[in-house]
Amino acid sequence: MCGFVGFANLKEPIIQDRNILEKMNQSLINRGPDEEGYYIGEHVCLGHKRLIVIDPAGGKQPMIQKASYGDFVISYNGQIYNTKELRKTLEENGFKFEGHCDTEVLLKSYLHYGNDVVHHLNGIFAFAIWNTKKQELFLARDHFGVKPLFYTIQKNTLIFASELKAIFQYPGIEKEIDEQGISEMLGIGPAHTPGTTIFKNIFEIKPAHFGIFNASGLHLERYWKLTSKEHTDTFPQTCEKLKFLLNDAITRQLVSDVPLCTFLSGGLDSSIITKFAADYCKKQGLPPLDTYSIDYVDNDKNFVKSDFQPNSDNYYIDIMTKNLHTNHHNIVIDTPELACYLEDAMIARDMPGMADIDSSLLLFCKNVKQEKTVSLTGECADEIFGGYPWFFREDALNSNTFPWSIALLERQELLHPKISKKIHLKDYIDFRYKESLAEVEILDTDSAQTKEKRKISHLTLNWFMQTLLDRSDRMAMYNGFELRIPFCDYRLAEYVWNIPWEMKALNGREKGLLRYVARDFLPAEIVDRKKSPYPKTHNPTYLAKVKSMLLDIMKNKNAPINSLLNREFILDILNTDGKSFLRPWFGQLMTRPTINGIPLSSKYVA
């Protein structure tokens, strides 16, 4: 796992711009604290920051492969999980290897397959490959966009990077937010429309897309999507196929030359990951698996049950660690620390995010990084298997909007009155909602329930899941820490996408089919546990601390945030402890408005 930067201009030489490249690359030091490298060409410059996970000696980047038909240079961020199979195919076709890293396999796969290489990859990746013979730059991003890749075009120069902060190091690129950016931030946020950012003229390569930059400009193309097909497997066949895909996805992602662990909350998803990982370690004769969980000071005293947080984790974690004999570590975070790191979390994202949902993960990764470099997590099972309450609630299904984009009137009122007159959040959300639903493929053979659930599954996979993937990447890589997400294996997602809803929600339960399959290898208490989201603090001192931080900013009438937001409305929220804000922010995740995570330091909202 790493970060990379670059720029290309095929009409004018840019070889003199090394200082710019180094400045961009240095901004990604958190993503790659172990090594750095550069490629300076006449028309393309590439920079790389490396986090060493595989083949310390052989994985240096940018990596160059010389061939009779030109040189090829790669800068890459990610992990290819079918490296072994690709390497075997390449060796059968005459390729030789100097090391065992996936970077070398990926580069030589491009030499072998050309632009079709994306159809042969299973992994999480973003990369750029420069072809000196064709004078062409190839950019690609993985199926679900686990790894980021941003870009902009200034005059004839394509500028690209793993994070927005690196883009802004290029001369002349401004941090400008226009009407669309405000609509994305306050209407869609903390999700975002695929391909966009909140900043004017700065974009991302969409998930499952590649780009070709040559003399004619930048051409973008989609190489994969979830395709609706009739599910013909019987119920027993479906269960067996799921077990195979789960085991294969998880064990593939356990390859590492550095210490590895799993995150364990005692929920169904993390327990499945941990079960397969612990079995793998035992089978390979490795030491017991290390597992990590997160908790907060005084959470046991302040926990209150709710529909979204029905129970705490500790009881279930204990069941799993005793069952699997893992070496467990419990990370406990205190309220002042959680609040103080809100600003770091936003810097890691380069834009407003998910408040303490972000900062807690950032702190979790920071603590685990002291002992490990890689972890597997159960993220995204809810999106793949239908685990959220909105899959079952009629009000969400009939809302005619994103089920998490609620409280629109209150969001609109958060805007400064002058801005609010020009921006209509509901209209923007309605447009994006209809635009997204138009992509859903419905089959004549689909039942009424499956048709309905395909739509909300599409929205969840392409919008909500991307928010969580962005969070996982930024909060982990801010600490030079790698998170792997086996449930995001595209083969698993392809298969589950077409399982009829009646089977997927077996017995009328969220993730009913996954629970049924897991009964073969998990304790009943874990299988029957009601879904519980990522743990958050229930300590009232946290909200008091954040309220105090925001009040300090609001006291300054000239604070830049007040040129964007409605100061009087925010003060009313603060004075009533959020009671004037009728509904929670962003669905289940935030029980109080946090101004989308941005009320922490006025210098970041100017």
249 class by beta-carbon count within 10 Å (0-12 exposed, 13-18 middle, 19+ buried): buried
Closest CA to 292 of 345, 357, 368, 241: 368
Please give the Cα distance from 43 to 63 (Å, whole number): 17
The proportion of the chain whose per-residue pLDDT surpasses 70, expressed as a percent, equals 92
For residue 190, whether the previous peptide bond is cis, meaning omega lies within 30 degrees of 0, is yes
- Note the pLDDT tens digit of each residue in 408-454: 888 899 999 999 999 999 999 999 999 999 999 999 999 999 999 99
pLDDT of residue 531: 79
For the chain, give the mean pLDDT.
90
For residue 104, CA distances in Å to 68, 201, 211 come to: 18, 33, 21
Alpha-carbon gap, residue 594 to 583, rounded angstroms? 12
Lowest mean per-residue pLDDT among 118-122, 310-314, 453-457, 509-513: 310-314
Name the residue among 161, 106, 152, 139 with its Cα closest to residue 208: 139
Q: Tokens for 587?
A: 């669905």
Quote the CA–CA distance of 7 and 17 in Å, as a whole number: 10
pLDDT of residue 604: 26
Per-residue pLDDT tens over the stretch 62-93: 999 998 888 999 999 999 999 999 999 999 99
Model pLDDT, residue 305: 59
Asked if residue 603 has pLDDT above 70, the reply is no
How do residues 526-547 score in pLDDT, each as one tens digit?
A: 999 987 777 777 788 888 888 8
Contact in structure between 451 and 442 (CB atoms under 8 Å) = yes
**Residue 511 · residue 381 · CB < 8 Å:** yes
Which residues are paired to 136 by β-bridges? 131
Encoding tokens for residue 179? 């009407």
Does position 587 have pLDDT exceeding 50, yes or no?
no
Q: Distances in Å between the alpha carbon of 444 and those of 57, 375, 398, 440, 458?
A: 54, 42, 22, 13, 18
Instruction: Dig out the tokens for 190 from the structure.
Output: 């903390």
pTM of the model: 0.93
Q: Is the pLDDT score of 583 beyond 80?
A: no
Q: How many CB atoms lie within 10 A of CB 417?
A: 11
Dihedral sign for Cα atoms in the order 403, 398, 394, 226: negative
Mean pLDDT across the stretch 23-46?
94
Angle (nearest 5°) at CA 345 between 342 and 346:
90
What does the pLDDT read at residue 375? 97
Instruction: For residues 217 and 497, give the distance between their C-alpha atoms in angstroms, rounded to a whole number.
Output: 35
Tell me the mean pLDDT in the region 278-305. 86
In angstroms, rounded to a whole number, what is the distance separating the alpha carbons of residues 227 and 232?
Answer: 15
**pLDDT, tens digit, 9 for 90 and up, residues 456-492:** 999 999 999 999 999 999 999 999 999 999 999 999 9
Map tokens 């492969």 to a residue: 65
2 tagged catalytic: yes
**With 50 as the cut, is the pLDDT of residue 379 above it?**
yes
In terms of pLDDT, which residue wins out, 573 or 165?
165
Cα radius of gyration rounded to whole Å, the chain: 24
Q: How many CB atoms lie within 10 A of CB 572?
A: 15
Question: What is the mean pLDDT of the segment spanning 204-217?
Answer: 97
Q: Please give the pLDDT value at position 303.
A: 58
Angle at CA of residue 468, ends 222 and 374, nearest 5°: 95
Is pLDDT of 560 > 80? yes
Q: Tokens representing 321?
A: 């660690």
Q: What is the percent of the chain where pLDDT is above 90?
A: 73
The residue among 9 and 257 whose pLDDT is bigger is: 9
The pLDDT of residue 606: 24
The pLDDT value recorded for residue 393 is 86
H/E stretch holding 419 reads helix 417-420
Phi, psi of 494 (to 5 degrees): -60, -45
Q: What pLDDT band is residue 590 in, cutting at 50, 70 and 90?
A: very low
- DSSP labels, 221-286: EE------------HHHHHHHHHHHHHHHHHHTT--SS-EEEE--SSHHHHHHHHHHHHHHHHTTP
Catalytic residue among 2, 45, 101, 380: 2
Q: What's residue 126's pLDDT?
A: 98
Q: Are 264 and 270 in contact (CB under 8 A)?
A: yes
Quick check: 319 and 539 in contact, CB under 8 A? Answer: no
Q: Is the pLDDT of residue 225 over 90?
A: yes
| Cα distances (Å, whole numbers) of residue 517 to 247, 269, 276, 512, 527 | 12, 12, 13, 9, 9
Tokens representing 292 are: 């990590």
pLDDT at 209 over 50: yes
